[in-house]
Structure 1
Amino acid sequence: MHAPAPTASPKMSARHVNVFYGRKQAIDDVSIDVDMENVTAFIGPSGCGKSTFLRTLNRMNDTIATARVDGEIRLDGEDIYASDMDVVQLRARVGMVFQKPNPFPKSIYENVAYGPRIHGLAASKADLDRIVEQSLTRAGLWGEVKDRLNDSGTALSGGQQQRLCIARAIAVDPEVILMDEPCSALDPIATAKIEELIHELRGKYAIVIVTHNMQQAARVSQRTAFFHLGTLVEYGVTSEIFTNPRQERTKDYITGRYG
């Protein structure tokens, strides 16, 4: 497997990560660094392990009874699987945006305010108002919803709901945002808005996106990791992965021979 030289200061680093569901091994010896400067895309055919690996980065696999994770994953050098790690706090630092938009059945305002409120990030109502406005602005949604903050989040269009979920993730001031196929349920116009948003958020957060859409990976990321059968086949600069892959399996996937 070809891996690029580790980044000077990775935000997250994974070393020799294995994931098992019962006896079935889903991830086999994956090592990768994720940094603040580059959006990292995970690509590969269905069932190749890319979403499973993404879920190890904020311990979402903990919610699956049969799942077991070996190896080491660090956030700013801190072992996220250490026994004294506060998982609720970890998931605030490493936010997740899912494939299907999943706003809470609450108002637009309450969707965004919920996290800061439970994490004690706002000292007053004015603080909370500021966090909500800033998060919705960063998610490119403020202009569309500022006059209807009390409307239900579930009444928004699919693309707006996904941006609301991104605003909700941003509101707790995360360091990393994980996106698991965030556009797969959206139309092309909504998809373009999410992609534009990813460009705008780059550098403010370390961003990892799982996508089936290779054109999307080429458009939004600067680093691409190709997964196949639970292994990381190749990881490098996106433009090189797409134009000059080093591994035959990467080339076959990108040229459409399988997948």
Structure 2
Amino acid sequence: MNAPVPAAEAANSSAAPVFPDPVSPSKISARGVSVYYGQKRAIDDVSIEIPKNYVTAFIGPSGCGKSTFLRSLNRMNDTIPGARVEGEILLDGMDIYRSAMDVVQLRARVGMVFQKPNPFPKSIYENIAYGPRIHGIAASKGELDGIVEQSLQRAGLWDEVKDRLGDSGTALSGGQQQRLCIARAIAVDPEVILMDEPCSALDPIATARIEELIDELRGRYAIVIVTHSMQQAARVSQRTAFFHLGKIVEYGTTSDIFTTPREERTKDYITGRYG
């Protein structure tokens, strides 16, 4: 199911799952996925294999469908009236759109960090504790304290906030709020972390810290990041998919996409001829 598709076969079928190499097994497999908003088709017959233990970047011009496709990976599009998804999206071989899927559990396994930091209007501690508490992950207050500390440490925020866990999460700086949101996602022990332009609202220093964090988290989670910054994609990812007009034009190792793209449209985008 997760074997790589020969390049010649992939080139002859837009629906064939594209997987750059067999080094890491697939965590998510999308097969012939189309996403509609009412009658408008935003994603057109996309197939891709997203590997474990790597950072995969989605790049492309505004409106090309990369964020729409990202949101389909944990069914966030379910919250949009008139949205529907065709095709298959498999998480460890299980179809996430099957009727028996528990969407709350799915979103615990496939966490999401949004473009604009969105901490709860609660304390720093409660922002992290909320997920483990509702999912029954912590059996005691001591265990919950440990999860909060570990999550903040993994997000590189513990040393900055350990003495003020009772303060509101919304009182933190923008970069700290985004790391708090990453810590909140980590707290429920996800397998995949989706990031939708997580640095677009941040200054360069905060952006650098988030990028360092992404690199530190690599190998522990499958991470998928949507970014408008090709420089950021080149810095943080090992796999890159180029989207255009609702389709994946090219998918491969990040070094190949940025140095020896196969498709002319990819080359034009990378070199700044459009986008």
1:81 aligns to 2:102 (yes or no): no
Deviation, structure 1 residue 4: 3.5
Q: Which amino acid aligns with 1:206?
A: A
Please tell me whether the aligned partners of residues 242 and 250 of structure 2 are also in contact (alpha carbons under 8 angstroms).
yes
After superposition, what is the alpha-carbon deviation per residue over 1:94-137, rounded to whole angstroms, capped at 9, x for unaligned?
A: 00000000000000000000000000000000000000000000
When normalised by structure 2's length, the TM-score is 0.93
Among residues 50, 61, 67, which one is paired with 2:77 in the alignment?
A: 61
Cα distance, 1:184 vs structure 2: 0.1
Kept after mapping to 2: 8 A contact 1:112/1:167:
yes
- Structure 1: give runs of 5+ residues left out of the alignment: none
For 1:41, what is the secondary structure of its paired residue? strand
2:265 to 249, 252, 256: 249
1:192 to 199, 208, 214: 208
Contact preservation (8 Å) 1:73, 1:79: yes
- 2:185 equivalent to 1:169: yes
Q: Which 5+ residue runs of structure 2 have no aligned equivalent?
A: 1-9, 12-17
Q: Is the 8 A contact 2:243 2:249 kept in 1?
A: yes
Q: Is the 8 A contact 2:110 2:194 kept in 1?
A: yes
Match for 1:96: what amino acid?
M
Query: Which residue is equivalent to 1:12?
Result: 28
Alignment partners' CA distance in 2, 1:36 and 1:110: 30
Shift of 1:41: 0.1
Give the CA deviation at 1:65. 1.2
Q: What amino acid is the match of 2:225?
A: I
> Tell me, what secondary structure is at the counterpart of 2:111?
strand
Q: Does 1:233 align with 2:249?
A: yes
The two structures have a TM-score, normalised by structure 1, of: 0.98
Matches within 5 A, 1:36-51: 36-51=52-67
Amino acid in structure 2 at the alignment position of 1:47: G
CA RMSD, aligned part only? 1.0
CA positional deviation for 1:6:
6.3
Q: CA deviation at 1:37?
A: 2.4
Aligned to 1:98: 114
Per-residue CA distance 1:172-217 (angstroms, 9 max, x = gap): 0000000000000000000000000000000100000000000000
CA, structure 1 residues 155+5, in 2 after alignment: closer, same or farther (shift >3 Å)?
closer
Q: Does the Cα contact within 8 Å between 1:6 and 1:33 map onto a contact in 2?
A: no
> Aligned partner of 2:218: which letter?
R
Aligned residues: 259
State, as a whole percentage, how many aligned pairs show the same letter: 81
Q: How does 1:77-156 map to 2 (within 5 A)?
A: 77-156=93-172
3-state SS of 2:26 partner:
coil
Which residue among 197, 209, 212 is the counterpart of 2:228? Answer: 212
In structure 1, distance between residues paired with 2:222 and 2:19 = 17
The equivalent position to 2:176 in structure 1, one of 146, 160, 168, is 160
The alignment partner of 1:11 has SS state of strand
| Structure 1 residue 5 displacement after superposition | 4.8
Paired with 1:9 and 1:159, the residues of 2 have a C-alpha distance of: 32
